[in-house]
Amino acid sequence: MNTSAVPIKIFCACGQKYAFEVHPHNGAMPVPVACPVCKRDGTHEANRIIAKILNGKTQPLPPPSVNALLNSVQSSLAPHLVDALKDAVVQELAAQRRELLAAQQAASAELTTLVHRLESVQTPLFERLRAYETRIADLEKDLADQSKENRELLKLKIELLKEQVQTECAASRLNFN
């Protein structure tokens, strides 16, 4: 007794679900079947499903009106699902924005604290630097004044030596004459 293809869905004890279509031979599976995961024999379960279908206890496929109803429900629910998804995304984005704003405010407060600490450390350093610069300017001025005095002293010394040389030259000319 050859019949049309029968859809078979088996739920294995390991939790795997597998499905296939078969042309039953004499109201049973023409070949043995096994779970694709655990390799457990599923032939007996497939034969039981074939017997139910062939005896009219169950229908192999739902009538077309059920499929049409499912498709219409899906198409009418799609806009509502999209709206719900949009709302969820917007709410999540708003929550993330609030978190980011809180983090920014905390970072801003921490940065302000760091700026105040830097200023408190920096002010004494600038004052010390100004004092050093003033002292260097004073020392350079003193050095310039001393150089000027030294030059004047050297000029006076040179003039004195010239006078002394002239005096000695004049005295030695007098002795030779």
Q: Residues 96-105: pLDDT tens digits?
A: 999 999 999 9
Do 100 and 167 belong together in one domain? yes
pLDDT score at 9:
92
Q: How many CB atoms lie within 10 A of CB 51?
A: 14
* Residue 111 is assigned to a structural domain of this protein: yes
Q: What percent of the chain has pLDDT over 70?
A: 86
What band does 63 get if pLDDT is binned at 50, 70 and 90? low
pLDDT of 161 > 80? The answer is yes
* Residue 85 is assigned to a structural domain of this protein: no
CA angle 62-68-69, nearest 5°? Answer: 90
Do 11 and 50 belong together in one domain? yes
pLDDT score at 81:
84
Q: Provide the residue type at 7 as one letter.
A: P
Do 118 and 155 belong together in one domain? yes
CA of residue 167 relative to chain centroid, distance: 93
* Residue 68 is assigned to a structural domain of this protein: no
Do 52 and 108 belong together in one domain? no
3-class state of residue 148 by DSSP: helix
**Rounded distance between C-alpha atoms, residue 47 and residue 32, angstroms:** 10
Do 57 and 101 belong together in one domain? no
pLDDT score at 146:
86
Do 51 and 103 belong together in one domain? no
Tally of domains within the chain: 2
* Residue 132 is assigned to a structural domain of this protein: yes
Do 176 and 96 belong together in one domain? yes
pLDDT of 1 > 80? The answer is no
Structural domain including 164 reads 90-177
pLDDT score at 69:
65
According to DSSP H, which parts of the chain are helical?
A: 43-54, 64-176
* Residue 97 is assigned to a structural domain of this protein: yes
Average pLDDT of the residues in 46-75: 70
Do 34 and 103 belong together in one domain? no
* Residue 15 is assigned to a structural domain of this protein: yes
Do 117 and 53 belong together in one domain? no
**Residue written as token pair 């005295």:** 171
Label residue 24 exposed, middle or buried (CB < 10 Å: 0-12, 13-18, 19+): buried
Do 95 and 176 belong together in one domain? yes
* b/e burial code for range 27-45 (CB count within 10 A of at least 16 → b): eebeeebebeeeeeebeeb
Do 41 and 102 belong together in one domain? no
* Residue 74 is assigned to a structural domain of this protein: no
Label residue 8 exposed, middle or buried (CB < 10 Å: 0-12, 13-18, 19+): buried
| Residues 6 or more apart in contact with residue 24 via CB below 8 angstroms | 1, 2, 3, 6, 30, 50, 54
**Rounded distance between C-alpha atoms, residue 86 and residue 92, angstroms:** 10
- Higher pLDDT pick, 136 / 66: 136
Do 57 and 98 belong together in one domain? no
The pLDDT tens digits of the residues spanning 110-156 come to: 999 999 999 998 988 899 999 999 999 988 888 888 888 888 888 99
* Residue 176 is assigned to a structural domain of this protein: yes
pLDDT score at 176:
58
Q: Provide the residue type at 1 as one letter.
A: M
